[in-house]
Amino acid sequence: MTELARPHRHQAVIAVTFALIAVGLLASCGSDNDNVGISSEPCNAAMAEAAAVDDMRDTVEDVDPAILACSTIDDFAAAIANNPGAVEVDARTWLGNRCADTAAPVITQSALCREFAAETAPIIVDSPSSPPVAIDPAVASAAACVEYIPIGAFVGDTKASDLWNFIGQDVAALDGLCAQLAVDDPTLIASFAAALDAYNEASSNDAAPATSSSTAPATQPPVAETPTTGAAPAPPPAGMPNVVCLDLQQAQNRIQAVTGVFYSRSVDATGAGRNQIVDSNWIVVAQDPSPGTLIGEGDAILAVVKDDEVGSLC
């Protein structure tokens, strides 16, 4: 019977060495799964209890004792790794949801939730920075625009007058108009703000509300003087002029030049209620009052049609 050959001593040493290396690799692989560290005993015990709850009856509240028992987020993460089945997501995802539950104040004010809030706070508070400061000038300009457009129409500012007529002289529509101008044409409302400042400064230096010297005579003479003298007073120099068949801009200019009155109203003669945005595109076909009548601000009403609608009216 042939005797089996015995391994040499050095071959046995090599075999043992490889066996030890294999055991070490297996041990290291097991430890890699829990590379978050070792959890504290109270934290790990609380997480073990959560893991032991039947899957059909478990709730998010089962993990709350572990949140309260764990001293840090890393401690909590290690307990999750040591107790498979307790939590199916990573520690910070779980805390992100649970710490946001305002119905559980004990949890939201826990040490772990405070640590989580401190970690995420720089991302949350970094977003609101400069917008409030950037909005303020536009808001101020829009407010000045709202105040100035009726005044500008009164003192003969063509742009203000066009916009005032565009909204049908509706004060309630000024806020929306000026808010839109703040976006579309900030230069225009900035000029309105400057004009309002100039108007207010002039008003503080002079009792008369108008900025133009030509408007002062229209407001200074007492109305009672007319019957005592038997003739129209020198200012205004004349009554309402005949402006029929002039375009609306020319008509307004003529009324201002003749009477010193800057604010006249215009209406769509067709009854369609259209706004007169560009005055020169409209023709006056009727006026009230009739020529020669003394007028004040806003007394003149001009009925107009588009310049291509005049036909035999003029």
pLDDT digits (tens, 9 = 90+) for 135-156: 456 677 788 898 889 888 888 8
CA angle 152, 158, 159 (to 5 degrees): 80
The 10s digit of each residue's pLDDT in 282-313 is 999 999 999 989 999 989 999 999 989 988 77
Mean pLDDT across 113-140: 64
Q: How many helices (H) and strands (E) does the chain have?
A: 14, 3
Record the pTM.
0.31
Residue 286 has a pLDDT of: 94
**Structure tokens, 21:** 């290396």
pLDDT at 42 over 70: yes
Q: Which amino acid is at 189?
A: I
Burial (CB < 10 A; 0-12, 13-18, 19+), residue 128, is: exposed
The most confident of the ranges 1-10, 13-22, 141-150, 300-309 is 300-309
Residue 31 has a pLDDT of: 38
User: What share of the chain has pLDDT > 90, as a percent?
Assistant: 29
Question: Are 196 and 148 in contact, with CB atoms under 8 Å apart?
Answer: yes
**Structure tokens, 212:** 């133009």
With cut-offs at 50, 70 and 90, classify the pLDDT of residue 193. Answer: confident
Of residues 262 and 302, more confidence is placed in 302
Asked if residue 137 has a cis previous peptide bond (ω within 30° of 0), the answer is no
CA angle 275, 140, 130 (to 5 degrees): 125
Indicate the domain borders of the chain: 1-127, 131-211, 225-313
Residue 49 has a pLDDT of: 92
Q: Which of 52-56, 103-107, 228-232, 263-267 has the lowest mean pLDDT?
A: 228-232
Q: Which residues contact 29 (CB under 8 A, 6 or more apart)?
A: none
